Each structure stands twice: as structure tokens, then as C-alpha cells.
Amino acid sequence: MPATEQTWRNQKVMHIIFAASALVMVIATLWLMAKDHNREWKDWQLANRKKEAWMTQASRDKTAALFASQLDGQESELRRLQSEPIDPSYLVRFKEIVTAEESRLARDESQPFILGAAASETAISEVSSSGSTSLEATSREAASDFTKLEAAFAAFNELAQAAQSARAQVVAEAAKAQASKVGEEGPGPEVADDAGQQPDLAPPAALTSSQEEALEARRELLVQFADLIRQAKFREKQLVGRRKFVSADRTATVSEKGLKIGEDASKDVLETLQEKIQGYTDEISDLTGRIASAKTYRTDLEGVVGEINAAQDAISKQSQALLAELSRLDDLAYKNTSNVFEWVTRWPVLNALYDGNMRIDQIWLPDMTINYNFSQVARFDRCKSCHQSISQTAAGTTSGPAYPTLPREERELGIELQTPDAAPADGASLRDVYGLVLEAGVMDYSEVTVHYVLPQSLAAQAGLESGDVVRLAGDQPVYEPETVDVYLLNRSKWGESAMLSIRRGFDHPFTSHPRLDLYMTDTSPHPEKDFGCTICHDGQGSGTEFPWTSHTPNSAEQQIKWTRDHNWFDNHHWIFPMKPARFVESNCLKCHHEKGALEPSERFPEPPAEKLVQGWTLVEKYGCFGCHEIGGFDGPDKRIGPDVRLESNYADVAQQILRDEGLSDEQRDWTESLVRTPEDDRLRHQLAAVLNQDAKLAQQAEIAASATLTPQTHRLAAGLKDVEAPGTYRKVGPSLRFLRSKVEFNWLYSWIEKPANFRPSTRMPQFFGLHEHLQDEDDETELATAERFEPVEIRALSEFLLANSSDFEYLAPPAEVTEKPSAERGKWLFESRGCLACHSHESFPGIASEQGPDLSRASAKFKSNKGALWLYSWVKEPHRYHVRTKMPVLFLDPIAEKDASGMPTGAVTDPAADIAAFLLAGKPDWTPQEHATTWSANEEAALKDLAQEWLTSDDIPSARAQNFVHGDGIPAHLEPKLKADEKLLIGLNNGNRTDRLRDYVARRTISKYGCFGCHDIPGFEEAKPIGTALAEWGRKESSKLAFENMHKFLEGAGNPNHDEEHVAHGHLDPADFDPDTSYFIQSLNSHARDGFIWQKLRMPRSYDYKTTKNKGYNERLRMPKFPFSAAEREAVITFVLGLVNEAPAEKYVYKADPRQEAIVAGRKVLEQFNCAGCHTLEMEQWQIAFEAGQFEEPSEVADYPFLAKSFSDKEIALSEFKDSRGLLQATLHGQPMMNEETGLPERVDEDGLPIEPDDDESEPYYLLKLWKDGLVEGVPWLVGIQDLMVPAAADGYGPAIGTAYPAWGGDLTRYLFPRVIAHVHQSNPEAKGSEAWGWLPPPLMSEGKKVQTDWLHAFLMDPTAIRPAAVMRMPNFHMSTREAAKLVNYFAAASDTEFPYEYKSRQRESYLAEKESDYPDRMQGAMNIVVNGNYCVKCHTVEDFEPKGDATTFGPNLADVHRRLRPEFLRNWVANPKRILPYTGMPVNIPYKPGEPGVAETLFHGTSVEQLDGLVDLLMNFDTYARRQTEITPLVKESAAKNAPTTSDAANNKPSRR
């Protein structure tokens, strides 16, 4: 086919199509580019940059304003200094130096210059000598002429004198003016306190001109000085040049000689050359000497001039520093301001090439992966693209936020601004009058912002800050600065305050992260470059737009706002939405698997994760882990999260084994031991082997009879097996093993029915009567079922628990007791023996501990005879009843009463009986409801029906079950197929039916509700927790959560606003609720986990709403209701949501160093046994800020040098650092002086006297007693020397500026302090209240430094009495050796000392031998001090010796010190006890006297240091000393050979003598 012009498609059409599509494409491309260009984050960055520039400018302007006056002052000061006469002694010294140099040079010249040079070498010597001497001669000539210098000096001093007297006149006039002013106000008392202040007047012209003249003269004078110095310099230079020249000559001659040697030159030639070289060498050394002298001369001259100028130079330097700072700020301001170039580069396309200072700010975390379902992917956190200032610290601080996120109440403020007393001059500006400078807004031009505030101005006093937005002036809205001007400067009345309403701080994302000491900064434990953002916050880190980053609102209100302002939506597809603010701490659990690591520490005294720790503690306290296992391990070693699980049940198993009467005596002994020490693995294995062996015997028919133990016991062997990574928590409830011996049926019934009946504050949850979901009319039948079966369950449980109880042997009071129990004595004992450390009681309103139950109503529980018997046994020996109780043995041994003079009266009281009497005293204010002892017909019918329900299963249909229950029970032949509980129903008859059915139902009920999760119940040793495991609950898919009919419930019966109007409209709008509730309602609406758990904790049975119809009674929900407050509930949720099993890479998981690990592990034990109830474990920490010079330096005290505390240069520098407020900071550990009558911290006046209640004039202070050496303004303040007077907060407790972090522990000690004083004063009015701390449990801050580790371990296991003065003894907690070891390590680690072992060289024989080689009777000498009536024995027991007198002044037995105390501690203690315990009454016995004895040398020969050393050595080796006094030889029977027994001889079998 021929080619034609024709195209297949019409060209024109095609053109149109192409044109159109090209156009579309262009539009699409432009659209795409526009979309790409206009990214949200750019706006945020630009805004932030604007903010930064503004802030820098404000700070620059403020600094400039501040510096201006300083620079002026410095300038005039410089003028003053420069026009001051110069001390003529400088001139004299200067001349002396010059003259001395001259005479030195003259002396040198008179001697032949080149000593060793040969005469023939005159040429060389001429050159050199003439060269150098002529040089020196010239300088000398000039120098000797002082006339010019003297003239200049005289001229200057004359003018300077004139200038000075002119100035003096000015000052005197000013002083006169001021004095006459003072005079008008009346004759001032003694003194003028502001004498240092200079009159603030402009210098009159006369002074200025005379100063000018003096300055001119001074310049002239300095020129004269400089002339001479220049000459000296010139000479020095010449000499150096000369030496270079000679050196070069020498080098040339040396090489010439080398050549000549090569050329075999004659000896003469070589010698000549050698002489020449020698000549040069000598000259060089001579020149070197001269140069040195010349240099010394020059520097001496310079030194004199330097001294003359020293003061001026210092001032100039200061000025330069100020100028440098200003120029730095200028640079910074310039850098932060966008310029034209940047602006251009931000244009589309160009912006792709140059970022124009705007870029995606991203942190790449290759090892911090995120789970993308199929793989772990590196994180890219781009959050900083918008949150630009997030890690910015305030200038001059390491962790203060530059832009703090302020709480709502601090954001909107009313400022009361004091106006001047009189109208200011016309034309005065806000800056002149108030020190206030305003500007248009930072983020919004329609706002008015405080640009800066001058220090000490009226605005500063009112608290205005740079950046505050002024919204209202009076009640007028402010849109421009003039409004404020008018308001503040045109007032009708002056001297009154004006009101400004301001808004402070920035919104997100312009703020800094809170707690920069913990996060973001490089010095924090979580630097941003290593951790990024999303590991803690979750959310989509790679997103750069608000909605796509999965922010999560914290309340419905916020959600509405975000939806409106930022297009927020709930992105269901992103499974890691950001944690809302309320749960932000949850994710700490990813890396922190021990609670102790999240608690306040010395480094971070402010709680790092308070809510989370609270939640964790609540989970521990309420025993959630009894039903819900929280496993922290994946395999034996790999940690995945917190591990909160029940301990192995060995003790309970062993107790159950003890029920078997077939145990042999030995087996019984083993078992009893295991009950006491369940951690003893060897014993447990032994016992398990016994059971297994016996079980084997029983299985073999022919020897079955030889098995002694029951099959039940055999089965218990399984409970003794080893467990991989066992749990560590004890059950939180008391043991019910011996319940019968403790409580009555009626009480028990009431308790189970509703624990709050008896004790409103109890932790036991409520299981019954939770029917809020059964209130609808159509649920009537379901409600009736519950109301019919629940009483049956309660009655069955109560009866079963009592019937199933083991027998308990009560303790009988000791025979020596003569007195009847007394509630009055018991009350003081209860208060003072430590009970209040764990329990509260309404008789003692000042203290409330929650470790143990509130005992106010004990009498209602134990009013029966057996209750009283039980209570006595319990108080005295709690482990007898409940082996795993945390209640310790308090050593309530009989007390032989003494009279006022300390003699026994013959009366013996029993403190345990007294305490029991106190608890049982009074008529109970509550009695349980009486219940019939027998089952009524209705109850029996219900019991049968319930048993039938239980029995009914796939294998046993309902009808058959009914037959079993009503007939003869389950046939015996079915036994092998039956479960343990069902076996109870074999062989039912009318005689045993009710009891058997009761036991059956009770056992099933216990299993259903999981009572054994908290209580030891006989027969349930092996039961497993009944609840859902929680280790991964924080990531549980919400589709797996049974929300059931929750929405319907909440809209109706379960509406939290049930009583209010909201119920009417029947639908659930989160916005109708308060912010906290609204969050959870919203969460429930979107089927999220946090809403689910919130409702579960709030109304645990509500998920059964409308589901009960189709469930059996026993299938209904069983979670009980705990008495959580809303805040507690949220804390628990915070903890549970953090259980995500997402431990990141190993390097991110918090790994404590061994010391920290010991601290963390120890804290758990401390908490378990409530050590902090009595002991102070950390003193209060006061972080104070103050003005320089606030604290007068403490007086120096001459003391043993080893007691001095040295601080590092860094610490000192830090303590002298001024923050942005110009304040210094100090961290002090201690506690304020307490009032001996009230026990409350005493507020004192400036003289240190307590401020009386009606005194509102005195400035309040606290007298802070230091417990740790501290640094204040670079000066060490040492413990026990002097108290610090810290200005007190105007109201409330703490320092005026700063924070007082509370002490950890010691509540009881502080509570008892005034009370023991009052009590002791009753019988002993002279006892010293100030020493009462010594009668109470000691603080343990540096216990590790004090005691030896092995002693402490033994003491914890078996505490002995140490201090006779103490009102209570350390109780015995029956802790395991592992727990004791953890405590020992804790104390050592916390006080930063050696553990687990410490080497005590003082206790080595070799050490003693060496010391004794110089002074053989050294130990005896030290003993002389000990037994001298003036010293140790005055107050201390020593072995068998006991001091007489007042026990409140007695100290511990010195014979035991060598086992207890660490040598260094003992030395420091004896040297000056107050340096360790500020309150101690122990005196310094050997005062430090350098080179002299501290005590009489007749006792111990040597200096005070040697005497102290000797005494310490004796006390540390008391056993060695005692051993030396003991002779064993006399005890050995003499002539052992004579008395030796006869032995047989192998050969003849006859007795023979050896």
C-alpha cells in the first residue's frame, strides 16, 4: 500500500488530547510539587525559628541594658584608678632594679670577657667582646638617666593628688547631704550599715578635667617606664642575635674541622681549629648567662609596671568579658534571624537544593527497632522536625528547660504590679519607671509581649518575665503596647498596685521536654541521639504530619480540639499509637524491669516515674499477682519485663505434709525445718525424695503396707519440685491454716460477705453483692439467682475454712510474770515498741502506716476467749501462726519493772499481754451480724442446687447430677475418674449430706474465686493462679477483649453520670464527663485496652451485663472489686499498660552496675519488711538557691586530719556557679531542728530563736542539721560542726527558694521523738531531749560504712540488743539468708563501700606485731583508757562490767565492737562522734592535739593520734586481747601419756601401753 499523508487518528483531535493531557500533567505536577513543598512541619519550624530569634533578641537587649550601666561604672572606676597617685615605692623599686643591673654589667665588664681564649685569637675575641660589651654599654648609658622618669612621676603624682582631693571633696559633700537627710529622720543608732555604698552623683566638671590631666600625665609616665623596658628588651634581643651568630660560626668551624680531618691536615691546624671551637663554645655559654640575666632584668621591670597597672588591668578584663558576651549574643541573634538568602532558598525547587535552614530533623536508630509485624525495622524518629526546642536547656543550666511546659494554673496569671509612690517625671517610659520593656507578640503580632524586665525593678518584683503575653491591663484587652503604657503611666493614684493579666509559656510543639535531667540531653541517662522519641512515647516516628504521627489526646476535650485544629483522627491501623500524657510512664517498663530502678535516688531525687511506681506498688500491695501472673522471664535468663509472681509454695506444702501422722520423727523434724526455711533446697530435695520413695512403696501391692504416708501426702511431692526462675512475692493475705483458733463464724461470715463491713480500709476485695449489672427489670431472675446462691457460698466457705483448719497451740504467758495485763501500759508499748511503724490505730492519730491493717477495731474481731488467746500468741510470736508473715518478732519478753532509782521493784510485767489488753480494751463499736449455726431448709435446698450446678458437666448431665446430690451421692466405682473435690460426694447419706455438699461447694468456690492466690489454705497448696497472665497485656489485641454489652451498660445502668441529666438522652458522649472519665469513656467507645481495664477495675462484673441469662451461675465473671480510688486505678492501669513484652536490644535495657544492682535488689527487701517504717534510709535533701554571701562561713575547727572532707575542683566550681537568676545552688542532706515538744520542724528567727506563734514579723529560717558534708559557695560545711540557717518558705515547708525532698523512711522515729522525751521525762526529768534520737531506731544512711558485712548479716537473721538506751529493739523478721544478704549488700552499696567482703588489716596479727614492736604494752595502755573512770566505762558496758546510772546515757558493749564496726568507722567515730551522728551524746575523749597527747600519758604513751590509734586497735582486737588474758595450758590435764587409755596391739591382741 502506497504511503499517504493520512494518519490513523485525526491529528487535530490528537493535538487537543495531547494538549489537554499535558495540561493535566502540568497541573498534576505542580499540585504534587505544591503538596510536597507545603509540608506542615515547615510552618512549625518557621514559627519556632521566629520564637528563637525573638528570645535571643530579648536576652541580648536585656543583657545590653544591664551591661550598659556596668560598663559605665567600670569606665569611671578605671578613670578613678588611673588618676590615683602611684605609691613612690614602685618608682624606688624600679630604679633599684635598673641600678642593680647597671652595677652588675659594670662588674662583668671589668673582668676579661673570654676567659679561655688564646691570645693569638684576638680577632675573634675582639669581635665578640666588643660586640656584646658595646651593646650593654649603650643600654647602660641610657638607663642611668632617671631624670625624665622622675620628672614624669612627680608630675603625674601631683596631678593625681589634685584629682583625688577634688574627688574627696565631691564625696564629702555627698556624704554631708546624705547625713543631713538621715539626721532629719532622727538620730540613727550606733552605726551606718550601708557605709560601703557610694554616693550616686554625676562627677562635676572640675573633677573630670583634673582627672583628664592626671590621665595624660600617667600616659607620659608609662611611656617613660616603657622606654626603659624597651631598652632592656632591645639588649636582650641583641644578645640573642649575637648568640645565634656565634652558634652559626661554631657550627661552621666544627664542620671545617671535620673536612680538615678528612684532608689529613696537620695536627697544628686541627688544634687551632679546636681552640677556635672551644672559644665559640665558651662564648655561647657566656652569652646564655647574659641573656638569662637580661631577661630577668626585663621581666622584673615589667613586673613593677604590671603591679602599678594591676587594678586597672583587672577592670579592663571584666569590661572585655562583658563586651565579648554581648558580641556573642549579637552573633547568636544574627544567626537566628532569617535573611534574604534563606528566604530565597525556601522557594519551591530551590528549596530542594538548599534547605534554607529548614530541614527534616530525624534521629536514626538502627538498633532500636520497631515491630512491623513481619520484621524488626530500624526506627526513624522525625518528631524533632516540629518539636524543635524539645531538648533545649535554659542558658547556663544542664537540665533546666529553656521553654518549660507549664501546668494550666501557671499559664494564666494575674500579676499585681506595685506602682511608684509618687508620679514619675513627665516623659518617663515603662522602662524607667517599672523596668519593663514591651514589644509586639512573638508568635502573633496582635499580641503584646514582655520583651525584657530589668532586675530588681518593680516589674521584676511583681514576677513579670520575658516572653509573658500581656492580655489585659486592668480590665482592658491589650492589642498594642500603648494600652499598657497608658494604663501604667497615667494613673490617678500612685503607690497602689496595678493588675495585669498575662499568659506565660508556649504551647506544644514550642516547649522543651520535661525532666531534661532524665531525658534528651547528653548528660541524661536517655540522650536523644541514642533513644529517639518513639521508644518511650510510641506513635509513628517517621510521620511528619500531626494526624499521621498518631498523637493520642489525653481527654475528650483535647480530642475535639485536635480534630478541629489539626485534623486529628483515630488511626486504627497503626498499632502503636502514642501514649496519652496520662500513661506516658508506662513504657518505662520496656527497659526498666525492677521497681527500685525507677524510684527516686540521690542522683534523681525527684521521682522519675511516680505514677508508674505507685501502680506497681499497688499491684504488689493488693496482691494482683495472686491471680494474674506477671512473668518477667522468657526462659531462665531472658528478661522481658517486671517479674511479679508468687513465690514457690514450699512452706505451705511442708505444713500440709505435717498433717500426715505417718511421718517419722526425723521426717517431721525435716518438714518443720522446711516450714521455717523454705529456701533450703537441700532439705526440700531430701523431703521430696522421702515422699517419692514412700509413694513407690505404696504402688507396689506386695509391700504397700510398709508405706507410712497417705496418698494425699505423696501427691504433695509435686509441690516440692524445683522451679525455673521462681517468683519472689509472698501471698498478701494471712494464712488460713489455723483459722479456727483465731476467729468466730459470725465474724468470718461478715468478713467474706463484705470485708469493708469490718474494716473500711482493708485491701481484701469484695467478691459478693456486686450486682450493679443486674438492676434492669428483665434481669430480675438473674439477680434472684445471685442473691440465692451467694449466701450459700459464703456460709459454705466460712464453715469449711473453720472445719478444715489445723490445730494451733496458743502461747502461754511466762511463769515469772507477776502483773495482770494492763491496757494503759499496753498503749505506750504499742506506740513505742514499733507497732505503729506498720499498723495504724485510732488512738494515735499522728501516724498512719499501711503496711499492716488498721487495728482500731481489733476488739470487735477478737472479743471471744480464743481471740484473746490467739492475739497474745500472735503479738508475741507471729510466725508460729503464719510462717510467711512479714510481721516480725518484737522480743516482747517479760520486763522486770524498776523504780525511780533504777532498782527492781519485784514486779514483772508481760508486754505482749499488755499490748493484747490494749487492743482488746473498750467495747467494740461494731459486731458482726448473728447467723444461725444450722442450715435452714431454704439454704439447704440452695446448697443442693448449687452443688448440682457444679456437678453438672458434659459427662454428668444435669438430671444425673441431681440424682447424685439428692440420692446416695456418686457411686464408689466412679472414683478413679473423679476429681478430688467430687470424691467428697461418694457415699452421701442424710447424715453427712449437708456437710459433704458444703465442703464440696466450698472447695469449688475457693477454686472459682482463687482465694489461695492470697491466702494459705490447707489442701490448696498446688492450685494455680486463676486469672489472665498480664505479662503482655499492654499489647493485647483489643479484638480479644470481651467488651460484650459494655456500651449498652454505660449508656444505661452503668453511666458514671447516672444520677445526672446525661442519663436522659441515653447515648454516651465522652465530652459530657470530666477530663479523666472522658478519656476512658472515649477509649471504651473505640474498644481500646485502657478503657477496658478501667471499667474492669471500676465495676468488675459489669461485662456480664445481659450475658448472664445464657451462662451458668458458676460461669459468671468472678473478678472482685478492689477499693481503688480513681487515681490509684489510673496508676494500676499505667503499670499494666506497660507490660508489653517488647524489651528492646540488650544495650538499651537498663542494666545496673553491680553497686546499683545491689541497691535495686535491696530496695525490694527494704520495702517488703518496711524497714523505712522505723529507720530513716535517706535524709531530706534540700536543693536550695541563694544569693552569694547569704551564709556566713562556718568556723574552722581543729580536728583529726582524716576527718576532713575534700571536694573535687569540679564540685567546688559547681557550687560557685551562678545560674541565670544570679543565684548559687547547693544540695544539702539533713533535717531541720525539731521542736522537742511537738516533733515538728522549728521555724526560727534570724537569731536562731524559735518564732513564737503570734510573731508574724520575723523572717523565718530553718536550722538545718547536716547529715552529709556539703558545699555552700565553695566552702565545705561539715556534719556535726554547725547548723545552716536556711531561709524558710513563706508558707508551707521547705527553703525560700528551692525544694526540700522528703526523707525516705523514719516516720515512726520522727513521730516518737517528742513522745519518748515526754515519756522519759515522767520518770527522769533530767534526761536530755536533744539526745532522744539516740533512743530511737537509728538512721541508716551510711550503715554500710559503719558495720561489717558478716556482722550485719548475722544481726539481720538474729538481731541482738545493742544500745541499752533504745526504747525498742530491732525485731526479728525471720528473713531468709538471701534476703538478709540483699540488705547487707544494699547498705554497703548505698554508702559506697566494699562488699561482700572487706579486708580489715587492723585485725591481722602481723599488723599488731609491728605496732607492738615499738610499744609492747600498747594494748594494755589502750585498756587503761577504756577502764579509766573518766572515759569509756563511764557509759559503756565492757564484757562483764556494767556502768551504773541512767540507761538513757549508756552505750553498747565495747567487747562486741570488733565484730560489729568497720575499723575506719570506729576510728572516725572515736575521733569525733558528732561528725557521724550529729545528735550523739558521746563526747570526744581523745581531743586532737598535733604532736601532743590527747589523754594523760600515764594511761597511754604517745600523741593524740597514737592514742586514738591504740584505742581503736584494742577495740578492733578485743578478742585477741581477751585471748591473751586466757591460759589454756593450765586447763589441759597434765601428763596425757599417763592417763592414756590402753589400746590393743595388732599382733597379740593384748592391751599394751604406748
Interacting residues with other proteins (CB under 8 A)? 168, 171-172, 175-176, 178-179, 182-183, 187-193, 195-196, 198, 900-902, 1192, 1194-1195, 1197, 1245-1249, 1252, 1254-1255, 1281-1283, 1324, 1326-1328, 1330-1331, 1428-1431, 1434-1435, 1443-1446, 1448-1449, 1473-1474, 1481-1485, 1487, 1495-1496
Give the position of cell 611611656.
Answer: 223
Torsional class of 1478: left (φ above 0), alpha (ψ -120 to 50), beta (otherwise):
alpha
In angstroms, what is the minimal distance from the CB of 179 to other proteins?
5
Measured between alpha carbons, how far apart are the two ends of the chain, in Å? 143
Of 171 and 1127, the one with the shorter C-beta distance to other proteins is: 171
Local structure of 1224: helix, strand or coil: strand
In angstroms, what is the minimal distance from the CB of 175 to other proteins?
5
In angstroms, what is the minimal distance from the CB of 850 to other proteins?
37
In angstroms, what is the minimal distance from the CB of 1447 to other proteins?
9
Q: Which helix (H) or strand (E) holds 909?
A: strand 904-909
* Distance in angstroms (rounded) separating the CA atoms of residues 423 and 494: 6
Of 161 and 247, the one with the shorter C-beta distance to other proteins is: 161
> Measured between alpha carbons, how far is residue 1259 from residues 147, 473, 1186, 1255 in Å?
64, 33, 15, 10
- The answer for residues whose C-beta is within 8 angstroms of residue 1114's C-beta and 6 or more apart is 949, 950, 1004, 1008
Specify whether the CB–CB gap between 1241 and 1233 falls below 8 A: yes
Of 50 and 1321, the one with the shorter C-beta distance to other proteins is: 1321
In angstroms, what is the minimal distance from the CB of 1265 to other proteins?
11
In angstroms, what is the minimal distance from the CB of 191 to other proteins?
5
Of 1135 and 1431, the one with the shorter C-beta distance to other proteins is: 1431
* Distance in angstroms (rounded) separating the CA atoms of residues 497 and 677: 73
Of 76 and 1282, the one with the shorter C-beta distance to other proteins is: 1282
DSSP 720-781: GS--SS-B-BPPSSPP-TTGGGT--HHHHHHHHH-GGGT-TT--SPB-S---GGG-SGGGHH
Local structure of 968: helix, strand or coil: coil
Specify whether the CB–CB gap between 295 and 278 falls below 8 A: no
* Distance in angstroms (rounded) separating the CA atoms of residues 771 and 787: 9
In angstroms, what is the minimal distance from the CB of 1327 to other proteins?
6
Specify whether the CB–CB gap between 294 and 236 falls below 8 A: yes
Instruction: Take residue 1500 and report the three cell numbers written for it.
Output: 597511754
Dihedral pair phi/psi, residue 618, rounded to 5°:
-65, -40
Of 830 and 1262, the one with the shorter C-beta distance to other proteins is: 1262
Of 294, 259, 297, 256, which is closest to residue 277 (Cα–Cα)? 256
* Distance in angstroms (rounded) separating the CA atoms of residues 1087 and 1044: 10
In angstroms, what is the minimal distance from the CB of 171 to other proteins?
6
> What pairs with residue 500 in β-bridges?
415, 473
In angstroms, what is the minimal distance from the CB of 1449 to other proteins?
6
In angstroms, what is the minimal distance from the CB of 1531 to other proteins?
37
In angstroms, what is the minimal distance from the CB of 1360 to other proteins?
24
* Distance in angstroms (rounded) separating the CA atoms of residues 1299 and 1290: 13
Of 126 and 1255, the one with the shorter C-beta distance to other proteins is: 1255
In angstroms, what is the minimal distance from the CB of 1454 to other proteins?
15
* Distance in angstroms (rounded) separating the CA atoms of residues 181 and 174: 11
Q: How many CB atoms lie within 10 A of CB 1522?
A: 12
* Distance in angstroms (rounded) separating the CA atoms of residues 382 and 401: 21
Of 326 and 1197, the one with the shorter C-beta distance to other proteins is: 1197
Of 421 and 1326, the one with the shorter C-beta distance to other proteins is: 1326
In angstroms, what is the minimal distance from the CB of 554 to other proteins?
51
Local structure of 1498: helix, strand or coil: coil
Of 506 and 1200, the one with the shorter C-beta distance to other proteins is: 1200
* Distance in angstroms (rounded) separating the CA atoms of residues 799 and 718: 29
In angstroms, what is the minimal distance from the CB of 931 to other proteins?
59
Q: Quote the Cα angle for 1074-514-400, to 5°.
A: 140
Of 731 and 1265, the one with the shorter C-beta distance to other proteins is: 1265
Of 459 and 1435, the one with the shorter C-beta distance to other proteins is: 1435
Of 447 and 1331, the one with the shorter C-beta distance to other proteins is: 1331
Q: How many CB atoms lie within 10 A of CB 881?
A: 21
Of 525 and 1481, the one with the shorter C-beta distance to other proteins is: 1481
Q: Which helix (H) or strand (E) holds 1543?
A: strand 1543-1544
The b/e string for 1225-1256 (b: 16+ C-beta within 10 A; e otherwise) is bbbbbbbbbbebeebebbbbbeeeeebeeeee
Of 175 and 377, the one with the shorter C-beta distance to other proteins is: 175
In angstroms, what is the minimal distance from the CB of 1267 to other proteins?
16
Dihedral pair phi/psi, residue 1222, rounded to 5°:
80, 15
> What pairs with residue 1299 in β-bridges?
1183
In angstroms, what is the minimal distance from the CB of 1487 to other proteins?
6
In angstroms, what is the minimal distance from the CB of 1290 to other proteins?
20
Of 168 and 252, the one with the shorter C-beta distance to other proteins is: 168
Of 182 and 1126, the one with the shorter C-beta distance to other proteins is: 182
Tell whether the torsion through CA atoms of 951, 955, 960 and 964 is positive or negative. Answer: negative
In angstroms, what is the minimal distance from the CB of 1498 to other proteins?
9
Of 129, 79, 152, which is closest to residue 246 (Cα–Cα)? 129
Of 1036 and 1474, the one with the shorter C-beta distance to other proteins is: 1474
Peptide bond just before 514 cis, omega within 30 deg: no
Q: How many CB atoms lie within 10 A of CB 292?
A: 12
